[in-house]
Structure 1
Amino acid sequence: MLTDVAGNWLGTITFGSVKLRIGFEISQAETAGYTGFMRSIDQSAIHIPISEVILGRNSVRVEIDAIRSAYEGTPTADGRAIVGNWLQHGTATPLVMERVDRLPEIIRPQTPKRPFPYGEEDVVYENASASVRIAGTLTLPEGNGPFPAVLLIVGSGPLDRDETVFFHKPFLVLADHLTRRGIAVLRVDKRGVGQTTGDFAEATIHDLADDVLAGVGYLKSRREIDPNHIGLLGHSEGGVVGPIAASRSADVAFLVMLAGLGQNNGDIIIFQKLLEARSHGAGDERLALMRAWYEGLYPLVREDTDSATAEKKIRALHATLTDEEKEAVGWPDSHLDDAIADQLRRHWRCDVRHDPRATLMKVRCPVLTLNGEKDMQVPAKENLAIIADALKAGGNPDFAVHEFPGLNHGFQTAHTQTASDEETISPVVLQTISDWLIARTSVPRP
């Protein structure tokens, strides 16, 4: 029986051909029980809070509510390992956790190193309407200002202010580049992540847009910032949130979308699921079945009905599949309850209902949209075309779209579908962004 689970634990989980290291940092709570954090070592340095650690007579369960996941296993006799399963979305994946002295850290070459030739300040402000306390970092160029400013909006998932993924810190790299060129940058922890309060799991894209506009208001209150040149830069989901905020406020002077969406999120997920299935050898028949299933499912999720009615319709659609077809589309009977619950989450239904094109037609400020040709999450050509068409149809007089050959979703060079660990953001993309911003703000050209 394991009597003390405090310490650092490390294991490797396998999803198809992908291997990811999972780490737990667990300590004794001040009163009773345990507290701690979970980290996906190869995806992010973010510390995701552990909700509860439950020790049984011969079992350990670690619950991580923020990502709707848990780990459950049996300790070895010496207490140095736990043999169990990672539990997520109704699926149990084998995972052995072992005690280690410390969890690994990875340093990427492009990550800026202090001291910086500009000011750096930790800031806190409120989204009063949602009682959310937003924490971030403001970097200010040398000089007295006032400076143009850009607020960075992270992508999907529980991301910190640096948008840390696989130990790359793209927003830190971007903030460093822009600040050195005379543009102030505010980057913040997402709602419910890091030092920002709120509920990450329940936040919709509209809630996140409220947080963004609170950030714009904060920047306007700073004497170092030019209130007429405050803009937004969003990546991936941030490229959906940014246009929502820009369409709602004349205070947004410009907008940059990195791998932003023109398509509805349901269409994006279908693209991703089919791409993943094809990479694992799925044939045309299975791909066609999967497409038909999701094209039938998402309208039911999208319909403006109560959850109970939507659930009945989804169950009825599911009942039209044979057992073999249910397995083929990834919706076996054993996972049905969890799968339906995932589809009916408030923020997901909001995503599926949202029409990025209609929102973009309302954006009047200058817009720069960039995508990578090898983006395997947001198809570049399709989305760039829709975005350009929407901005043109809405009468926006100043917009530009660029597709970068050989770059992936993170704007890293990817000669295949994977990127080099050495590059966080392509220097060409950094230069394109800063040149465009300088041309539309009061920053003198170097």
Structure 2
Amino acid sequence: MKTKSLLLLFLVSLQSLFAQEIVGSWEGDLSVQGTKLPLIFNIQKNGEFYLSTLDSPMQGAKGIPVKETIYVNNELKINAPNLNLKFEGLFKGETIDGTFIQNGASFPLILNRKKGDAPVLNRPQEPKPPFDYPIEEVIFVNPKDKNTLAGTLALPKNKKDFPVVVLITGSGAQNRDSEIFGHKPFAVIANDFAQKGIGVLRLDDRGVGGSSKGTTEDTSANFATDISAAVDFLSAKGFGKIGLIGHSEGGLIAPIVAVQNKKVQFIISLAGPGIPIDQMMLLQSQAIAKSQGATPAQIEASTAFNQKVYAYIINYKGADLKTDFQPFVKEEFKKITQSQGLSESQIDNFVAQQTQNITSSWYVYFIKFNPDLYWSKLKIPVLALNGSLDVQVKATENLAGIQASLAKAGNKKVAIKELPGLNHLFQEAKTGATAEYLTIEQTFAPTALNTMSDWILGLK
């Protein structure tokens, strides 16, 4: 493996996996003065850089090169100054909803994946209707941030007194099924739990599906207010045994909500952080690099680079992080790639993507976060699970961190379990490498489902 790709591993975060799903051809119709003009954007990835071309079939144009393609935090930006046009859109899994701008005029443009471009994936666990339990489509408002949230409430049939959980997605804007790589893990959990006697509320994240958009300044703290509003919504409907299940970043959000909202009676952390996030991210980058065949020297080099970047963000005291960070990361990046012959445009593209990502409000809050601040205040029952093959949130270190924090709180109602052979998505895996997520047919291991449901139903 070339050093170049490894030295960029500090990019790999809990959000970056969605990048793999945007690669391909996307088509949409631009409506101009009553005339529909079909456009096709062809997006590819070269190492850590995105490359795009534009097709305009009605104009006989194909493969028009695009100067700049940036994809960060589910937001796609395409810039073709030679045509004086731009496209900016939000990736929503099946569509990219955005705005096409040319010569100062703006037009809405929704792109759909080109037919035949997406692989046919077998997902045998995906629930299929009709369902033999009640399902309710719900909508409510977060009174704190004033945003609207939409979701699905699945309830066990013929039961009057049962626990209900709110599912919390990981990083990146996701739909209520937490859909990724054709998998719908939250739909699988909801279907399994409803049949066992546990209610489940799952929600579209801000700006996805039926939920309204948030702002560019949103952080995990804002998302925690959404989940707290969901808890209050369930309480108002008469439910009393309310718990939270958070995956990845959702496992960071769950303890925030539980500390602030006393209606939460229990928590399940699925691959949730248990150590300071900068430390977790270093372990993540190292594990992913190793799973991709990196040498110890390459891992050491990327770790040193990552440490400088994280330290810069954490310790920054200036007034304009975005402006100050860009020359810093460019200088550091040039130091470690000077022998690799990268062009100035490649370097600038990399720096632009990273500056936008790492200086965002969400990332700054995230990289500074220490889960101990919240886990150490909780006395409610907690089940913390990790897969032994998780390369994104390492099981040993993070489970130990959660356990130590809960011990500080004097919490005796704790179960900590490392599930053998499972990856970050709780699939039965061979290596745990991120490249396996798409190819594994299983969505969520039965052993993980049973561990969660048995624990919930056993609570007194």
**In which range does the TM-score fall when normalised by the shorter chain?**
0.7 to 0.9
Specify the SS of the correspondent of 1:263: coil
Specify the SS of the correspondent of 1:130: coil
Shift of 1:64: 7.5
Counterpart check, 1:402 vs 2:417: yes
Work out which of the residue numbers 410, 435, 444 in structure 1 matches 2:454.
435
Q: Percent identity, aligned pairs only?
A: 30
| Contact 1:67-1:201 at 8 Å conserved across structures | no
What letter matches 2:185 in structure 1? P
Work out which of the residue numbers 357, 380, 387 in structure 2 matches 1:342.
357
Q: Please, what TM-score do these two structures have when normalized by structure 2?
A: 0.74
> Matched residues in 2 for 1:98 and 1:179: separation?
33
> Matched residues in 2 for 1:38 and 1:143: separation?
50
The 5 Å alignment of 1:45-444 reads 59=64, 67-70=74-77, 100=115, 106-143=121-158, 145-199=160-214, 202-223=217-238, 225=239, 227=240, 229-303=241-315, 305-308=317-320, 311-312=323-324, 315-316=327-328, 319=331, 323-325=335-337, 333-334=347-348, 335-417=350-432, 418=436, 421-440=440-459
RMSD of equivalent CA atoms: 3.6
| Contact 2:216-2:361 at 8 Å conserved across structures | no
| Contact 1:297-1:314 at 8 Å conserved across structures | no
Per-residue displacement from partner, 1:248-280 (whole Å, max 9, x unpaired)? 111100000000001222223322333344445
> Matched residues in 2 for 1:309 and 1:19: separation?
30
> Matched residues in 1 for 2:336 and 2:159: separation?
67
What letter matches 2:378 in structure 1? V
Shift of 1:172: 0.7
> Matched residues in 1 for 2:282 and 2:37: separation?
40
Shift of 1:319: 3.8
What letter matches 1:271 in structure 2? L
Residue 27 (structure 1) aligns with: 29
More deviation, 305-314/161-170: 305-314
| Contact 2:25-2:114 at 8 Å conserved across structures | no
1:366–1:326 distance in 2 versus 1, CA, 3 Å: farther
What letter matches 1:425 in structure 2? F
Shift of 1:297: 2.0
1:188–1:404 distance in 2 versus 1, CA, 3 Å: same
More deviation, 293-302/128-137: 293-302
> Matched residues in 1 for 2:148 and 2:280: separation?
31
Per-residue displacement from partner, 1:74-110 (whole Å, max 9, x unpaired)? xxxxxxxxxxxxxxxxxxxxxxx99647855534111
| Contact 2:284-2:394 at 8 Å conserved across structures | no
| Contact 2:123-2:441 at 8 Å conserved across structures | yes
1:54–1:129 distance in 2 versus 1, CA, 3 Å: farther
> Matched residues in 2 for 1:310 and 1:63: separation?
16
Shift of 1:315: 3.6
1:253–1:345 distance in 2 versus 1, CA, 3 Å: same
| Contact 1:158-1:200 at 8 Å conserved across structures | no
Shift of 1:340: 2.6
What letter matches 1:68 in structure 2? E
> Matched residues in 1 for 2:363 and 2:39: separation?
28
More deviation, 97-106/392-401: 97-106
What letter matches 1:258 in structure 2? L
| Contact 1:54-1:60 at 8 Å conserved across structures | no
| Contact 1:411-1:429 at 8 Å conserved across structures | yes
Specify the SS of the correspondent of 2:384: strand
More deviation, 145-154/25-34: 25-34
Q: Please, what TM-score do these two structures have when normalized by structure 1?
A: 0.76
> Matched residues in 1 for 2:333 and 2:39: separation?
43
> Matched residues in 1 for 2:143 and 2:40: separation?
28
Unmatched tracts of structure 2, length 5 or more: 1-16, 44-53, 81-111
More deviation, 106-115/237-246: 106-115
Higher relative contact order (CA 8 A, sep 6+): 2
| Contact 1:247-1:364 at 8 Å conserved across structures | no
Specify the SS of the correspondent of 2:26: strand
Specify the SS of the correspondent of 1:113: coil
Shift of 1:148: 1.8
> Matched residues in 2 for 1:19 and 1:157: separation?
13
Specify the SS of the correspondent of 2:141: strand
Shift of 1:325: 4.5
Unmatched tracts of structure 1, length 5 or more: 1-14, 41-52, 74-96, 442-446
